[in-house]
A and B are shown apart, each in its own frame.
Chain A
């Protein structure tokens, strides 16, 4: 009988498997040693360790720093010069401006590529993986893409805001987003002015960011758009253009007043639908690949309903809600564990964290992320990544298998042949990382350093709850064909085959 309880998991059910599940879902996996470190704590201590990460440390900045001004708008003086050139048909000046613009766009794309690698690097290296996992959640929830925003610095700035408030309060995030330059550009609110309101941000704020479909009317959208008029940006920061703002009275979601955009955000947060919607998005990110709100199973409805009450009780503070979920019986239920399809970010960062492979060519890994459908800073549209089974098709599955093999061996998929000297990775390290607690009870009883122990160890570490035991014979056969000698080559081959198993795509 599946548990739908948010009561804490019993102490005696806590162990390696549960700790591994926690690290996979609340972060990006970990080595056997890291899993064991968590497993040896009490469950509440382990969850607190993951959720209540220190926030006083500096978040490292990317590379040589981020240039804020690559895409800066023209100065007034430049604007005048350009207008003059247009009037006079001064082709030389026009061509110079065009060339500058082309060069800036190219430079900004380079900066975007650098930021993509930087963020993926954080997912792989951060001592606070939940912070990155939550940043990824908010990036997909308040989705802005580079295609629509065309300014890498503004996306970076938004990303740092998500990171800073990641586990703090959903209310803070929702209130920030109506003042976020990247969002204001992406949803055309910089063009939302009293004489010609633009409803894009007003609609998405309710439909996708706070309430969900069906919890507002078209009239609420009209009125909310008026409240958001004049919310624009200047010099990379929020700017309230008073003279473009509609100062009249509005009626939004049953409330009347002379509202502005900040009031609108607060009104959304005050609606009954909002805590539930936040719970739904948290569940979908951490607990399972679920359907639309109207398609949930009874069990999912019970759990998300209880989480929603918790979100309300804690006034949108996220730490207590996440703690309750990560500690709950339901979270460790067999209907939850090992049944979620990894996002490309989870796949890549998880593999590197778990196996400690070399970083290799970060640009190549970024390319693979794009081919797998998750280019960071570039979700497909304002509703973010669909996730779940939408990640998987025959093409992306090969990319997933190939990127794993590349990280383990250095063998690039489009190159013929491969030299052992390119590998630069000690695959046997995976066996050294820890004591016996990583092994299954059955394997512990086997005599000697046998192949069984190696196979169980690797399958346990890489497949976790998604493993079925079915692959054990195949992998034992593989080792037997190599006389059970655990060389680096043999281990690398073993890791490549396991990470290419269909069930490796689950966590």
Chain B
């Protein structure tokens, strides 16, 4: 174990240093690919799998704080559930039950009506009991583990989405000094690119509010705006080597202007459906608009927080799940109207679920396994995998996972994104059966 962890961490350090040094010494065209400055590749040049269309998009929705899986996908048929949760357990009559015969005794939280509709419409999968060995109950550590897909190193390393780009985006067409802008392959709605998106090839774009993805000084005076625009759109000026630090900055500045134009124009359009006003609703509205505008982005990353329900869970959890369900439903409806629902897969995850037994404060403490949701026309709808046992718990009184999250990642990488999952995840995992065959 120690050796294993050391190996992976060292691999990471080596990689991150390589990334910097590439920038210093490699020819311009390679360097541009390493930092995604100019348009480094067309999709046809990516090392994709035969038969997988190259315009597919993955949208990640992170549920921060540790979502209470047992009150999300509710095992109302298990006696132990109500024993462990005398006040917090959701009454069988309120649970939204599956029509599917295979799903007896399990249902969704009452706030998740729109998500049950998606299941019935055949576009939402519920993967049960997702976790990993030797679960870590620290928010940071467990979140890092999900981001790096590396429980063995307690989450040290690059991000799994970053490594996906490292593995698939190797082609470097175009000529040195090309003036073409970069394609924003990875966009985060949030104020920092999450660890999951960090690799050595693609620099993710991150903004919470499109107002921060532009220069605010332009509003000071039209002359200020025009001088700024001429300077920042000029690219590499005569007499400056393209590969020099100044050349690199001038290219990035030009790229930023083009990205900003595209993205702000996209999100300014009125969506085809109305979205809820919650933060996740706004984030998914922006993502929907960018997809509609035809951005070449392959991965969008969004998040919502507040799931750390140690006390007074009931109302808070109800609100959060309601927001999530409404936002996902609006997003799916938007994509359908756009005609894009066939090329977008949305995936939710949380760093852990919560303790089976409720605590004295009307809440739940950090636990382990929890469900993931996958939404899209190609997913196998309904319940997937086994609900974890409520009678056989670990020493901490927590659920024992029935599905390794890396199996879900593997399915998404192989069957949706067309990548070599074993290369991205560091070793092979049996893909979870979440996609229609």
A residues whose Cβ falls under 8 Å from a Cβ of B: 91-92, 94-95, 98-99, 102, 147-148, 199, 203, 207, 213, 218, 289-292, 295, 339-341, 367, 370-371, 373, 381, 383, 386-390, 392-395, 397-399, 401-402, 405-406, 409, 411-414, 416-418, 466, 468, 470-471, 474-475, 477-478, 481-482, 489, 492-493, 496-497, 500-503, 505-506
Closest to B217 in A: A405
- Whether A295 lies near B25 (C-beta < 8 A) is yes
A506 to B250, CA, bound (A): 11
Question: Inside 8 A of B310's CB, which chain A residues have their CB?
Answer: 98, 102
Question: Inside 8 A of B244's CB, which chain A residues have their CB?
Answer: 339
- Whether B191 lies near A502 (C-beta < 8 A) is no
Q: Kindly supply a per-residue 1/0 record for chain B positions 234-273, scoring 1 wherever the CB is within 8 Å of any chain A CB and 0 otherwise.
A: 0001111000111011101101100110000000000000
For A414, give its contact among B193, B212, B360 (CB under 8 Å).
B212
A401 to B361, CA, bound (A): 46
A349 to B274, CA, bound (A): 44
Question: Inside 8 A of B203's CB, which chain A residues have their CB?
Answer: 393-394
Name 15 A/B residue pairs within 8 A (Cβ), A-sorted. A91-B360, A99-B361, A289-B24, A291-B21, A367-B191, A383-B13, A392-B252, A393-B205, A393-B252, A394-B259, A398-B213, A493-B223, A500-B215, A502-B231, A502-B250
Question: Inside 8 A of B43's CB, which chain A residues have their CB?
Answer: none
Question: Inside 8 A of A397's CB, which chain B residues have their CB?
Answer: 249, 252-253, 256
For B25, give its contact among A291, A370, A381, A506 (CB under 8 Å).
A291
- Whether A341 lies near B245 (C-beta < 8 A) is yes
- Whether B219 lies near A417 (C-beta < 8 A) is yes
A458 to B192, CA, bound (A): 32
A102 to B308, CA, bound (A): 11
Closest to A290 in B: B24
CB-CB under 8 A for A291 and B24, given A395-B213, A500-B217: yes
Q: Is B8 in the interface zone, CB < 8 Å from A?
A: no
A482 to B310, CA, bound (A): 60
- Whether B227 lies near A478 (C-beta < 8 A) is yes
Question: Inside 8 A of B365's CB, which chain A residues have their CB?
Answer: 98
| Majority secondary structure of chain A interface residues (helix, strand, loop or mixed) | helix
- Whether A497 lies near B359 (C-beta < 8 A) is no
10 more A-B residue pairs beyond the given contacts A474-B227, A482-B223, with a C-beta to C-beta distance below 8 A: A95-B311, A386-B16, A388-B24, A389-B20, A411-B216, A466-B246, A468-B240, A493-B223, A496-B224, A502-B246
What is the size category of the interface that chain B forms with chain A? 35 or more
From 133 to 185 in chain B, residues with beta carbon under 8 angstroms from any chain A beta carbon are 140, 156, 182, 184
Min C-beta distance of A300 to chain B, whole Å: 10
Question: Inside 8 A of B311's CB, which chain A residues have their CB?
Answer: 95, 98-99
Shortest 6 CB-CB distances between A and B: which pairs? A91-B360, A291-B21, A95-B360, A413-B216, A502-B249, A394-B256
A373 to B182, CA, bound (A): 21
- Whether A409 lies near B220 (C-beta < 8 A) is yes
- Whether A398 lies near B20 (C-beta < 8 A) is no
From 343 to 365 in chain B, residues with beta carbon under 8 angstroms from any chain A beta carbon are 359-361, 365
Closest to B22 in A: A291
Closest to A499 in B: B217
CB-CB under 8 A for A468 and B204, given A91-B359, A478-B227: no
For B193, give its contact among A199, A289, A395 (CB under 8 Å).
A395
- Whether B25 lies near A497 (C-beta < 8 A) is no
Min C-beta distance of A209 to chain B, whole Å: 13
Most A Cβ at <10 Å: residue of B16, B192, B244, B246: B246
Question: Inside 8 A of A291's CB, which chain B residues have their CB?
Answer: 17, 20-21, 24-25
CB-CB under 8 A for A418 and B220, given A98-B361, A478-B227: yes
Question: Inside 8 A of B19's CB, which chain A residues have their CB?
Answer: 386, 390
- Whether A199 lies near B6 (C-beta < 8 A) is yes
Q: Is B296 in the interface zone, CB < 8 Å from A?
A: no
Question: Inside 8 A of B359's CB, which chain A residues have their CB?
Answer: 91, 94-95, 98
Min C-beta distance of A295 to chain B, whole Å: 5
Most A Cβ at <10 Å: residue of B10, B224, B232, B237: B224
Question: Inside 8 A of A399's CB, which chain B residues have their CB?
Answer: 212
Q: Is B211 in the interface zone, CB < 8 Å from A?
A: yes
Q: Is B324 in the interface zone, CB < 8 Å from A?
A: no
Question: Inside 8 A of A94's CB, which chain B residues have their CB?
Answer: 359-360
Q: Is B50 in the interface zone, CB < 8 Å from A?
A: no
Q: Kindly supply a per-residue 1/0 record for chain B positions 1-45, scoring 1 wherever the CB is within 8 Å of any chain A CB and 0 otherwise.
A: 011001000100100111111011100000000011000000000
Q: Is B101 in the interface zone, CB < 8 Å from A?
A: no
- Whether A402 lies near B360 (C-beta < 8 A) is no
Question: Inside 8 A of B238's CB, which chain A residues have their CB?
Answer: 470
- Whether A414 lies near B209 (C-beta < 8 A) is yes
For B231, give its contact among A295, A406, A497, A505 (CB under 8 Å).
A497
- Whether B245 lies near A339 (C-beta < 8 A) is yes
- Whether A411 lies near B217 (C-beta < 8 A) is yes
- Whether A292 lies near B239 (C-beta < 8 A) is no
Question: Inside 8 A of A292's CB, which chain B residues have their CB?
Answer: 17-18, 20-21
- Whether B223 lies near A401 (C-beta < 8 A) is no
A477 to B19, CA, bound (A): 40
- Whether A497 lies near B227 (C-beta < 8 A) is yes
For B191, give its contact among A370, A393, A402, A497 (CB under 8 Å).
A370
For A411, give its contact among B25, B193, B220 (CB under 8 Å).
B220
- Whether B252 lies near A387 (C-beta < 8 A) is no
Closest to A420 in B: B220
Q: Is B214 in the interface zone, CB < 8 Å from A?
A: yes
For A496, give its contact among B217, B232, B360 (CB under 8 Å).
B217
- Whether A147 lies near B237 (C-beta < 8 A) is no
Question: Inside 8 A of A389's CB, which chain B residues have their CB?
Answer: 20, 23-24, 35, 245, 248
A364 to B35, CA, bound (A): 28
Question: Inside 8 A of A395's CB, which chain B residues have their CB?
Answer: 193, 204-207, 213, 256
Q: Is B230 in the interface zone, CB < 8 Å from A?
A: yes
A506 to B246, CA, bound (A): 7
For B252, give its contact among A390, A394, A405 (CB under 8 Å).
A394
Question: Inside 8 A of A477's CB, which chain B residues have their CB?
Answer: 227
- Whether A295 lies near B246 (C-beta < 8 A) is no
Question: Inside 8 A of A371's CB, which chain B residues have their CB?
Answer: 191-192, 206, 212
Min C-beta distance of B159 to chain A, whole Å: 11
For A468, give its contact among B36, B215, B232, B237 (CB under 8 Å).
B237
Question: Inside 8 A of A207's CB, which chain B residues have their CB?
Answer: 10
Min C-beta distance of B254 to chain A, whole Å: 9
Min C-beta distance of A85 to chain B, whole Å: 10
Question: Inside 8 A of B156's CB, which chain A residues have their CB?
Answer: 381
Question: Inside 8 A of B3's CB, which chain A residues have their CB?
Answer: 218
Closest to A381 in B: B156
Closest to B359 in A: A95
For A393, give its contact among B35, B216, B240 (CB under 8 Å).
B35
Question: Inside 8 A of A468's CB, which chain B residues have their CB?
Answer: 237, 239-240, 246
- Whether B18 lies near A95 (C-beta < 8 A) is no
Min C-beta distance of B258 to chain A, whole Å: 9
- Whether B215 lies near A402 (C-beta < 8 A) is yes
Most A Cβ at <10 Å: residue of B2, B36, B140, B255: B2
- Whether A474 lies near B231 (C-beta < 8 A) is yes
Question: Inside 8 A of A95's CB, which chain B residues have their CB?
Answer: 311, 359-361
Q: Is B221 in the interface zone, CB < 8 Å from A?
A: yes
Question: Inside 8 A of B18's CB, which chain A residues have their CB?
Answer: 292
Most B Cβ at <10 Å: residue of A147, A406, A417: A147
- Whether B217 lies near A409 (C-beta < 8 A) is yes
CB-CB under 8 A for A411 and B13, given A395-B213, A397-B252: no
- Whether A502 lies near B253 (C-beta < 8 A) is yes
